[in-house]
Amino acid sequence: MKKALIFTAFLLLGGMMMAQKPNTLTKKEKKEGWKLLFDGQTTRGWHTYLRDTVGAKWQVRDGALVFDPTQPASGGGDIVTNDEYENFELHLEWKVAKGSNSGIIFDVQENPKYNATYLTGPEMQVLDNKDASDNKKQNHLAGCLYDMAGDSTVSKPKPIGEWNQVRLIQNKGHLTFYLNDIKTFEGQIGSEEWNNMVANSKFRNKMFSDFAKVAKGKIALQQHPGSSEWRNIKILLL
């Protein structure tokens, strides 16, 4: 019995040692062409939207990119990638504090005539479904195409304090979202179905006249009420 327990402990320890470290790429991923968008130590590769640097509310702590609302107000704003992406598969992990709200916004057109990332880029919602104030509409739940598609049947975030896994794929305007291996959305930007969703959303308003018009742009992590953490942000160009 004692030998069996020792052997089991050895296997568990071996598995832990072999587990992939956060914010790293495996040999297989490197060979396939994956690139890290966050190195786990710095904010290199990102900047606050319409600025040159990353504001003080965004910090790196314990291998995670953290939005901390307690930091000076002047240090806020969404952060965006330095580079633009068109056809890609994005993987990342997120977790939020109780009652918190955020989002992954993509195809962002960084131009001074747009004062916010969401004026041009669609969003995959990041949310505490239970306690965040923005949980009243079904298509505002975690993993949904914000204000356009999705509901509680596909929105299955992990409990607060646990990491959620995202896969976001865009290929020639065709979008596929996964949250924790559950498909939360699939559709084509600019299709009749897409245009109908826009027409029935907040994005029908005049201020969103350039919303999702270009299936290429920067990727943003959103400042919103509460705090959020991000890690294992990696991208594969398609």
CATH of the domain at 110: 2.60.120.560
Question: Residue 15: what pLDDT?
Answer: 43
**Alpha-carbon separation of residue 131 from 10, 97, 113, 160, 225 (angstroms):** 41, 10, 34, 10, 12
Helix-, strand-, coil-residue percentages of the chain, each rounded to 5 = 20, 30, 50
The reply to whether 176 falls in a domain is yes
**Alpha-carbon separation of residue 93 from 65, 103, 208 (angstroms):** 10, 12, 29
The reply to whether 70 falls in a domain is yes
Task: Residue 74: give the domain boundaries.
Answer: 22-237
**Ranges of H-type helices in 19-155:** 27-32
Question: Residue 71: what pLDDT?
Answer: 86
Domain count, the chain: 1
Question: Residue 4: what pLDDT?
Answer: 46
Question: Residue 13: what pLDDT?
Answer: 42
Span 211-226, pLDDT tens digits: 999 999 999 999 998 9
Question: Residue 153: what pLDDT?
Answer: 98
Question: Residue 75: what pLDDT?
Answer: 84
Instruction: Residue 225: name the closest of 111, 98, 112, 115 by CA.
Output: 98
**Sequence-ordered strand ranges (E) for 62-209:** 64-67, 79-81, 88-96, 101-108, 123-127, 164-171, 174-179, 182-188
Question: Residue 160: what pLDDT?
Answer: 96
Span 131-157, pLDDT tens digits: 999 999 999 999 999 999 999 999 999
Q: How many helices (H) and strands (E) does the chain have?
A: 3, 13
The reply to whether 96 falls in a domain is yes
> 92 near 221, Cβ under 8 Å?
no
Question: Residue 72: what pLDDT?
Answer: 82
pLDDT < 50 positions in the chain? 4-17
Name the pTM for this structure: 0.91
d(Cα 146, Cα 88) in Å, to the nearest integer? Answer: 20
Question: Residue 73: what pLDDT?
Answer: 76
d(Cα 211, Cα 119) in Å, to the nearest integer? Answer: 6
Question: Residue 18: what pLDDT?
Answer: 56
The reply to whether 125 falls in a domain is yes
The reply to whether 2 falls in a domain is no
d(Cα 43, Cα 26) in Å, to the nearest integer? Answer: 21
Query: Which region, left, alpha or beta, applies to residue 104 given φ > 0 means left and ψ of -120 to 50 means alpha?
Result: beta
The reply to whether 4 falls in a domain is no
The reply to whether 53 falls in a domain is yes
The reply to whether 6 falls in a domain is no
